[in-house]
Structures are given as structure tokens and as C-alpha cells.
Copies of this chain bind each other. A is one copy, B any other.
């Protein structure tokens, strides 16, 4: 299964593509960031982001999409921009008929490092090891995107089983 992981953002949107199945180490296909011009109108930045992401989808033809779920924490204005970017990323995947799954930051950290409270450096180090890379991918958003993609590969099957169980339980009511 080829999966694209997206760490949404307007200034730097991390994108990572990996291939793998549950229980086996996934393989790196590609990693990078989509940047949009700071200071440009938000709507035009969202449009630039969409174009950038479409290029990634076109080139690497992922079969599933994992996106990091945005939480409102510190900088509210930038969180709203990030959430808007997340909407565009989800839309880009859905438009191609792909299943789009959101993962919380702690789900991603737990999947990759075993601890939901791991820091960025630990996540990057584990991603580097899991994918057998020579060095940690840079910038941090790119490493995060790979962590999300790895999470999607490993959690994907579990999520689908869970969804199937819920659907089955609902059918029995």
C-alpha cells in the first residue's frame, strides 16, 4: 500500500510518501515540502498549496492519505491557517476517491516512537531508523509528514477493522 502523509501548513506543508504493510518496515518513496509565499493572500496561498499537492498526488499516485489533525493551542491565527490548509489537503485526497484519515499528533508520536509525548527530535530519529535513511529528513515538517505516513500504514488496517466493527455493531441494533 502506498500512502501519502501530510503535515498541513501554509508556509511549509510537509509531504511524505511511503510504501508498506502493517507489521513490516515501510520504504521511503519521496519526501519534501510544499511552500506558499508568506504575505500573499490566504486564498491564493491555499490555491498554491492545492496545486503543489496535486503535483505530489499525480507523480506518486498514493492509495491512501494520512493528515495530522490540527489542534488549537498557542498561536490562534496560524492554527486557523493550518486548519484551512488541512481542509485543502483533505479535499485534494477526497477528490481522487482516496480514503483520508486524520491522526492526532500524539497518535503519530505513539505509532512511531512508542510514546505519545515524544519530542520532534525523537520522532525524526525514529522515522530515520524505521525507513533506513542515512540522515533525518529536513525540514522538520518533512520528517513529520513521513511519521504521519508511517502511522497511516501501520494504523490504516487497524482503523479499517475498527470502522468495520462499528458498522457491523450499528447494523445489529
* List of 10 A-B pairs having minimum Cβ-Cβ separation, nearest first: A84-B87, A83-B83, A43-B100, A87-B87, A43-B94, A43-B90, A72-B72, A47-B94, A46-B91, A80-B83
Q: Smallest Cβ distance from A173 to chain B, in angstroms?
A: 14
State whether the Cβ of A18 lies closer than 8 Å to any Cβ in chain B.
no
Per DSSP, are chain A's interface residues mostly helix, strand or loop, or mixed? helix
Query: Are B72 and A79 in contact, with the CB atoms below 8 A?
Result: yes
**Residues of chain B with a CB closer than 8 A to A79's CB:** 72, 83
Give A13-69 interface residues, CB cut-off 8 Å to B. Answer: 41-44, 46-47, 50, 65, 69
The quantity of this chain's copies bound in the complex is 2
Chain B residue with the shortest CB-CB distance to A46 = B91
Interface residues of A (CB under 8 A from B): 41-44, 46-47, 50, 65, 69-72, 76, 79-80, 83-88, 90-91, 93-95, 99-100, 102
Query: Are A42 and B80 in contact, with the CB atoms below 8 A?
Result: no
**Residues of chain B with a CB closer than 8 A to A69's CB:** 80
A94 to B51, CA, bound (A): 12
Query: Are A95 and B47 in contact, with the CB atoms below 8 A?
Result: yes
**Residues of chain B with a CB closer than 8 A to A47's CB:** 91, 94-95
Query: Are A50 and B100 in contact, with the CB atoms below 8 A?
Result: no
**Residues of chain B with a CB closer than 8 A to A43's CB:** 65, 90-91, 93-94, 99-100
- Report if A91-B50 is in contact (Cβ < 8 Å); known contacts: A79-B72, A80-B70, A80-B72: yes
